Amino acid sequence: MITVEQIMEKRFLAVRETDRVGPVLEWMDRYKVGIAPVLNEKKKLVGMIREKQLYQGLFQQEYDPLHVIENIIDRVIITVSKEEHWIQAAKRLRIYNLSAMPVVEDGYVIGMVTQEIILDHFIVHSI
């Protein structure tokens, strides 16, 4: 059985809930990330932030680049554990229409699983 831990990306962008919209957007653009986990001061997962959401908010003038992201993050978080089968992660990404999902252990993000990782793994193992 191939687990999420075997295919997850261990290097990923994470931001703090005290970070501001402007820098978060710059980081997401620089690292080509559309979604990122948001951590509190203890480095525990408290939410997710989406690049699209930030740009829409700026465009609609709901907030400016200096706003702290704490009040605009999505606190409904769909996660996966490192022990789960990779196909379970794929199903969850599809069911919830997510591009990426954090791999969580004891409240800490230890990796990320993306649609791209799942697709690459499928292609490699189906040939």
- Confidence (pTM): 0.91
Structure tokens at 120: 């690459």
How many separate domains does the chain show? 1
Share the mean pLDDT of the chain: 94
Best CA proximity match to 111, nearest among 80, 74, 77, 78: 80
Residue for token pair 């292609």: 123
For 9-38, what is each residue's pLDDT tens digit?
Answer: 999 999 999 999 999 999 999 999 999 999
From residue 71, alpha-carbon distances to 24, 40, 41, 75 in Å are: 14, 13, 15, 10
What pLDDT is stored for residue 61 in this prediction?
Answer: 87
Q: pLDDT at position 72, please?
A: 93
pLDDT tens string 65-116:
999 999 999 999 999 999 999 999 999 999 999 999 999 999 999 999 999 9
| CATH of residue 24 | 3.10.580.10
Query: Which pLDDT belongs to residue 78?
Result: 97
pLDDT bin (cut points 50, 70, 90) of residue 125 is: confident
Nearest to 33 by CA among 110, 102, 100: 100
- 127 pLDDT exceeds 70? no
3-state SS record for 49-116: EEHHHHHHHHHCCCCCCCCEHHHCCECCCCCECCCCEHHHHHHHHHHCCCCEEEEEECCEEEEEEEHH
| Contacts with 55 (C-beta within 8 Å, 6 or more apart), sequence order | 25
Q: What pLDDT, on a 0 to 100 scale, did the predictor assign at position 1?
A: 85
Range of the domain at 12: 4-126
